[in-house]
Amino acid sequence: MKKVVILKIEDYNREIIKDKIREALEKHFDISKLFNAADKIVLKPNLLMEAAPDEAITTHPLFIEAVGQIFKERGNAVLVADSPGGFVGNKDMDSIYEKTGIRGISQNNGFDLLYPTQSFIVDDMPICWWAHDCSKTDNGFKMINLAKLKTHDVMVLTLATKNLYGCISGLHKSYLHKIHPKTKDFTGIVLKLYEMVKPALNIVDGILALSGNGPAKRGRPRKLGLVILGDDALYTDYAISKMLGIKDKDNPLIKEAKIRGYLKEEELEVVSELDREIIKGFELPDPFIVNSIPAPLLNLLRPLIGFKPAIDLKKCRLCGKCVQVCPKRAISFNKTLRIDYKRCIMCMCCSEMCPHAAIDINTNLLIKVIKKIYKCFQ
């Protein structure tokens, strides 16, 4: 059985988070068997980009601090690591650690900050050295996956399993989008990583979640007041997807994991503090809403919908990040920015990495009407 525990934690009070997570670890996960005092604990948050904690794009620093302190007090060395989107050198990493509040909590608690300086090729994928160390069983590195509960334009949700994509070094993340343009195939890559880097524990920060058109600046922070723990990343995501009322067929990761035999309903055991099984009204991304129209109608409307990334030139500050991350080199700059839609594979990396929320999905009137109708039936 794979266990998932759902805790109600209303806000970022470090002591409450710490007490409740510690209690859950002792009661439900046999923490002494999972970790010993000699283990080096690598905390792997979601540090997608430079963003303030209240934007809900990155794992909250007080949440990371609470988990880190639990293990510090058990005598473990605690390290923090991620490989954010785009090409990130040490200087960019320093800036991300600063802006997301990670540097402050690390200095206060003696956590070591790691950098994606070196990688190892495993199964054609360059994995950051710290993730590679955690994937071995004999060197004392153990990963705790500290994901953020967020929506995602393409994957619907990004939780514990997708957070492992941040173990791939630098721009290779964009390259994988290029060679796997179909969501189904890209999901296969995420599942391959899940098999490769098995975190010892997964804890999802859903206290302040990101709803709407996540996973970055276009999403909307939404207070959920939840923390979700699981001994398996995929089953943790499965429980959250169910809790948000998403059907398995509508969640690309869950759908593909079931087809490939990674997930079995009867293997999931959920212990929840919630008084209801499903949380209603959590706003999901526009493509999810449109794709939930009955298939015959969707096929009729598809030519009129035409999702594509569109640049808002009033918001754009010409930083060049989208040009850098586009895996198909579909964005060019010649006096102004332009997207070549013949090349575009709709991976939405440009929108995800734009620091100024200047790239949106082109939402025409029809999509707006569909969203209004969808809300009426929720």
* Positions that interact with ligand SF4 (CB under 6 A): 309, 311, 316-322, 326-328, 330-331, 337, 339, 344-350, 354, 356, 358-359
CB-wise, 224 or 337, nearer to ligand SF4?
A: 337
CB of 332 to ligand SF4, least distance (A): 10
CB-wise, 121 or 318, nearer to ligand SF4?
A: 318
CB of 40 to ligand SF4, least distance (A): 36
CB of 314 to ligand SF4, least distance (A): 11
Residue 280, burial from CB neighbour count under 10 angstroms (0-12, 13-18, 19+): exposed
A 10 A CB-CB count for 364 gives: 11
CB of 297 to ligand SF4, least distance (A): 26
CB-wise, 302 or 317, nearer to ligand SF4?
A: 317
- Contact yes or no for 60/100 (Cβ under 8 A): no
CB-wise, 182 or 356, nearer to ligand SF4?
A: 356
CB-wise, 9 or 337, nearer to ligand SF4?
A: 337
CB of 285 to ligand SF4, least distance (A): 14
User: E strands along 174-315, which residues?
Assistant: 201-212, 219-230, 268-272, 309-311
- Contact yes or no for 280/245 (Cβ under 8 A): yes
CB-wise, 313 or 369, nearer to ligand SF4?
A: 313
Q: How far is CA 136 from CA 142, 197, 199, in A?
A: 9, 8, 11
CB of 343 to ligand SF4, least distance (A): 7
Residue in the structure block whose two tokens are 């710290």: 130
Q: φ and ψ at 346, to 5 degrees? A: 60, 35
